[in-house]
Amino acid sequence: MKTETVVLTGAAGRVGSALREPLRGRLRRLVSVDRAPLFSGGPNEEVRRADLSSVEDVASIVEGADAVVHLAGVPDEAPLPDLLEGNVLGTHHVLEAARRAGVGRVVLASSNRLTGFHPAGRTISADAPPRPDGLYGVSKVAVEALGRLYADKFGLQVVCLRIGSMELEPTSPRHLATWLSPRDCAGFVWAALTAPDVTFTAAYAVSANTRRFWELDERLGYRPLDDAEIYAGRFPGTAGHLSGDDPQGGDFAAADFTLRHLSGG
């Protein structure tokens, strides 16, 4: 399929901000969307302000697009109603608008936190069953299920990227396993947009970290270039950090991380 016009939602966020320049360099037209104000970075980038609160709102934005990269939503642990509205309903609005508009492919921002309770001592693939480390991870299970439904029932091409810890450089010991460099982030997203023969695919987007928990998926055809191990000296004494039966989610899997978002504490 052709990939000339792409809609990028959540374009003001950390991942979206890292993707705008690389996408502008490859596309004829990039439509960057966020509820926060944006400024165009070039003649082939159009910016739109929207909150994606209904299918109709999204439909006017995705009309004529070849693909959508959907990053908008609640980016971390939060009360479940907020996650359902921002992540699950927001994703449904995008998928349904894409179906109505005849968009060929949707790339959905999933998360490594969908499997954060798998043990760190085991390397898992995207075929492993979900074991979310919190309510945020639960919302991403639902996001992937919606993507699967729209692929199976309506023939929409859907790629769910389980995004790692996207940072300029690792800032915590866990990132030695989970880091996703901006360069590799752009590479995975472009592969998700252009890989041939896609119906539905879920894949981890993570740099080629020596200590990573997740298998690199060959189906998208992208091999990451960076390795967090070059930063290991910043975190002395972490050789056994997150190993054995420790949850891959680390602190995200702690009860207190979610309890503060539950009514009644």
Q: Considering all CA atoms of the chain, what is the largest pairwise distance in Å, rounded to the nearest integer?
A: 53
Choose the catalytic residue: 136, 150, 204, 222. 136
Residue type, 99: R
Tell me how far apart the terminal alpha carbons of the chain are, to the nearest angstrom. Answer: 49
Distances (CA, A) of 47 to 9, 26, 50, 160, 222: 10, 17, 10, 24, 28
Q: How many Cα atoms sit within 13 Å of 39 on the Cβ side? A: 0
Kindly tell me the sign of the dihedral angle through the C-alpha atoms of 45, 46, 48, 54: negative
Whether 136 is catalytic: yes
| Tokens encoding 70 | 């959907």
Catalytic residues: 136
